[in-house]
Structure formats: structure tokens, C-alpha cells
Structure 1
Amino acid sequence: MSSSLPPDILQALKIAFTYMPHPMDVTRYEYGDEFERIQSDIQQVREALLQLEIDPDEVMGEIRPDSTPNSCY
């Protein structure tokens, strides 16, 4: 599925995603009773990116290449 979103909207989605916590970092200890909802919200955004043929794990490197750790592979 190729993106039918305007480029600026797609870019905004990617930027917003970079500010979301990593799902593994969302715990009951850190986020209280809201942690499951927050994990679900993050998963929903990840799935939306995947539907747009965008790898969520690569978005940070695309948006912020200077602050993204180098890959080991």
C-alpha cells in the first residue's frame, strides 16, 4: 500500500512517533494504571506506519540521523 497521505502529514506522523516511548519502556511502575492503554496506543501507531509501508524501527534514523545510534549489522 503506497501512502495516500500528503507528505507533510506523513512527516508529522513520523516526527510524533519519534517522541513516543518504546513499548518496552512503558511499564506499570513508570506509567501506573495507564500503561496498557499507552502500550496499545503505541502499537496502533506502529501498525499505521506498517500499513503505509514504513518500518517503525527505522523512523528515528530517518528523522534524526545525527542522534540515532549506529547499527551493529
Structure 2
Amino acid sequence: MPAKLDETVLDALKIAFSYMPNAIEVTRYEYGDRHLLVLEHINAVKEVLLEHGIDPDEVYGEVHPDDSPNSMY
């Protein structure tokens, strides 16, 4: 079981994740030879968020409520 992160660290992780590119945007054309490393970094952050009960798809809207479309739920 992974170590639990405190709320301050989780909030910082969510903020950082909200500025990361979407995986579909990470191409060799845009990122060159580093594109696979960038994808690994995105996945690593997603995994930590998921392990702590946070839906990565909802993070941007939570961090930037004024800049995100209304939810379809």
C-alpha cells in the first residue's frame, strides 16, 4: 500500500498535473526523443492521484473552475 500524502502535497500535485499536457498531445513531433519520458511522467502522476482516490480527469476543473466547461454528470 502506498504512503498517504497530506492534503498540501496532494493539492500541489493536482496543481502541477493541471498544467501537464494531455497524453494525446505528447508526440515525437512536439517533444522529440523525450516524448516517451514525458508520457512516463504523466502516467506516474496519474497513478499517484488514482492511488489517493483522485480522478485525474476531474483535476483540471477542480483546480481551474473558472476555465473549465460544466460537467456532463
TM (norm. structure 2) is 0.88
TM (norm. structure 1) is 0.88
Flag structure 1 segments of 5+ consecutive residues without an equivalent.
Answer: none
Partner of 1:20: 20
Q: Distance in 2 between matches of 1:43 and 1:5?
A: 18
Q: Distance in 1 between matches of 2:72 and 2:49?
A: 24
Q: Distance in 2 between matches of 1:33 and 1:5?
A: 32
Q: Distance in 2 between matches of 1:19 and 1:26?
A: 13
Partner of 1:46: 46
Partner of 2:60: 60
Flag structure 2 segments of 5+ consecutive residues without an equivalent.
Answer: none
Partner of 1:33: 33
Partner secondary structure for residue 11 of structure 2: helix
Partner of 1:11: 11
Q: Distance in 2 between matches of 1:51 and 1:6?
A: 13
- Measured on the aligned residues, the alpha-carbon RMSD in Å equals 1.6
Partner secondary structure for residue 70 of structure 2: coil
Q: Which amino acid aligns with 1:53?
A: G
Q: Which amino acid aligns with 1:25?
A: E
Task: Determine what percentage of the aligned residue pairs are the same residue.
Answer: 54
